[in-house]
């Protein structure tokens, strides 16, 4: 049975990456797609694990070759999702999360009818500013740029199916899990998973 596709989007500093990491660690058959980016690695980021780090020339070649399911420019860098890798994971029955920005999310929505789109919001602008500053990995200039972009990003929440507010980490994590579990119980998924059982149950 093919896996389901989920998109998780949030403004930078909302805590999306930590939530997704914990969600993957505690849920079976769920993976996050590793994106390609032209951004420089942050301290501690590993090539192939956090991102596939690449340069602009190679990224543009990839766009022209149709390698990306979606791609977008976020701040001054390119980000994109490998079409082949996502399709392979879905074909193998794994549910896949794309942790991408709103521009990419809307591109994928056009391509896949059955995609579950989740937007994570912070509890307030003040909290977002504090979280962005305390990360300590980016320069002040980058932080200011990201803050300015955050409001524009958050305005896009209306295009999504689900909204999770990340005030308390554990509560937000439970809500994300609930969305994944609910999707797994839908008619189409259950018919595919329990074809034989259901056939037997409803045969007179």
Q: How far apart are CA 202 and CA 204, in angstroms?
A: 6
Q: How far apart are CA 159 and CA 56, in angstroms?
A: 29
Euclidean distance between the first and final Cα of the chain, in Å?
26
Q: Shortest approach of ligand 5GP to residue 153 CB, angstroms?
A: 7
What's 140's DSSP letter?
H
Q: How many residues bind ligand 5GP (CB under 6 A)?
A: 14
Longest distance between any two alpha carbons in the chain, whole Å:
69
Contact region for ligand 5GP (CB under 6 A) — 67-75, 89-97, 156-164, 185-193? 67-75
Rounded to the nearest angstrom, the gap between the alpha carbon of residue 98 and the centroid of all alpha carbons in its chain is: 3
Q: Which helix (H) or strand (E) holds 195?
A: helix 195-202
**Residue 10 assigned ligand-binding role:** yes
Q: Shortest approach of ligand 5GP to residue 189 CB, angstroms?
A: 25
Q: Is 38 in the site for ligand 5GP (CB under 6 A)?
A: no
Q: Is 59 in the site for ligand 5GP (CB under 6 A)?
A: no
Q: Which of residues 71-110 bind ligand 5GP (CB under 6 A)?
A: 72, 74, 79-81, 99-101, 103-104
**Residue 150 assigned ligand-binding role:** no
Q: Is 35 in the site for ligand 5GP (CB under 6 A)?
A: yes
Q: Is 5 in the site for ligand 5GP (CB under 6 A)?
A: no
**Closer by beta carbon to ligand 5GP, 155 or else 186:** 155
Q: Is 160 in the site for ligand 5GP (CB under 6 A)?
A: no
Task: Look at residues 67, 61, 26 and name the one whose alpha carbon lies nearest to residue 180.
Answer: 26
Q: Shortest approach of ligand 5GP to residue 200 CB, angstroms?
A: 43
| Rounded (5°) CA angle 196-27-182 | 60
Render 20-31 in DSSP notation, one character per residue: HHHHHHTSTTEE
Q: Is 13 in the site for ligand 5GP (CB under 6 A)?
A: no
Q: Which helix (H) or strand (E) holds 145?
A: helix 140-154
| Site for ligand 5GP, rule CB under 6 A | 12, 35, 39, 70, 72, 74, 79-81, 99-101, 103-104
């Amino acid at each position: 049975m093919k896996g389901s596709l989920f998109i998780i989007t949030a403004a930078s500093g909302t805590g999306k990456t930590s939530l997704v990491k914990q969600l993957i660690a505690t849920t079976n058959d769920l993976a996050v797609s590793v994106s390609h980016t032209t951004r420089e690695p942050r301290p501690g980021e590993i090539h192939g694990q956090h991102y596939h780090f690449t340069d602009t020339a190679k990224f543009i070649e990839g766009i022209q070759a149709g390698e990306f399911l979606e791609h977008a420019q976020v701040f001054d860098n390119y980000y994109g999702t490998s079409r082949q890798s996502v399709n392979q994971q879905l074909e193998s029955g794994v549910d896949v999360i794309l942790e991408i920005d709103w521009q990419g999310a809307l591109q994928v929505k056009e391509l896949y009818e059955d995609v579950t789109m989740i937007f994570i919001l912070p509890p307030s602008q003040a909290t977002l500013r504090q979280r962005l500053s305390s990360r300590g990995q980016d320069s002040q200039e980058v932080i200011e740029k990201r803050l300015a972009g955050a409001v524009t990003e958050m305005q896009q929440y209306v295009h999504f199916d689900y909204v999770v507010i990340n005030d308390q980490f554990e509560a937000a994590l439970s809500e994300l899990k609930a969305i994944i579990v609910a999707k797994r119980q839908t008619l189409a998924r259950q018919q595919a998973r329990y074809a034989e059982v259901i056939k037997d149950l409803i045969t007179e």
